[in-house]
Amino acid sequence: MTASARLLIVGPQGSGKGTQGVRIAESCGIPVVSTGDIFRANIKEGTPLGQQVTAVLDKGDLVPDELTSEIVRDRLSQDDAADGFLLDGYPRNSAQVAHLDAFLAGRGESLDAVILLDVSRDESIQRLKLRAAEQGRSDDTDEAIAHRLDIYEHETAPILEVYGPRGIVDRIDGIGSLDEITERIFAALAARGLRLAA
């Protein structure tokens, strides 16, 4: 257990970020801050934001930076995130990295680690197709999947070029059982002095 852990989990769609993020956050006693969850909650509730997000996602596009950053800043300002958090789905590009850096610097904070779940494009596509079949998700069409992976490769993957020189990126092999992958993540975080209860 650690007094504070400010973490970011990164990986292509279908890499298992959501599942692993929950496991890590529970072990650290910190909240998962997932833009996808925030957006889906608004969609389910039929809010104006939810309607905007639905229109964007149905095209396979991503929600605009300004709106996303505003929502994340608000979430990180809540009491349960005071001692740490795990970000999933944000920042997804260099502009959002700058937004997050400025916000954290204003609080005298910075990220402790960036967990990169490493899976191939082919593996991501197969997992997303399986998820679409199981869950009937309208945003997991073949075209939308390919489009979102393209966006990840061109916009999100480059944020690792920003975080890499800071020495905070842990590249984790994303192939294997859930437990095997979790153990790899915990080992990497423990090596940074972050104590997690398995």
Active site residue 192: no
pTM for the predicted model, two decimal places: 0.85
Q: Which of 40, 121, 129, 131 is catalytic?
A: 131
State the architecture of 5-191 in CATH terms.
3-Layer(aba) Sandwich (3.40)
pLDDT value of residue 49: 77
User: Catalytic residue at 40?
Assistant: no
Cβ neighbourhood burial of 157 (10 Å; 0-12, 13-18, 19+):
middle
Task: Return the higher-pLDDT residue of 195 and 120.
Answer: 120
Break the chain into its structural domains and give their ranges: 5-191
Q: Which of 6, 17, 23, 184 is catalytic?
A: 17
- Tell me: the pLDDT tens digits for 45-75? 888 878 888 888 888 887 889 878 888 888 8
- Write down the mean pLDDT value for the chain: 89
Mean pLDDT over residues 142-169, rounded?
A: 93
Q: What span, in angstroms and rounded, lies between the C-alpha atoms of 171 and 42?
A: 32
Name the catalytic one among 6, 23, 75, 148.
148
Instruction: Give pLDDT, residue 137.
Output: 73
- On whether the CB atoms of residues 141 and 13 are closer than 8 A, the answer is no
Q: Answer yes or no: 129 catalytic.
A: no
How much is the pLDDT for 41?
81
Active site residue 131: yes
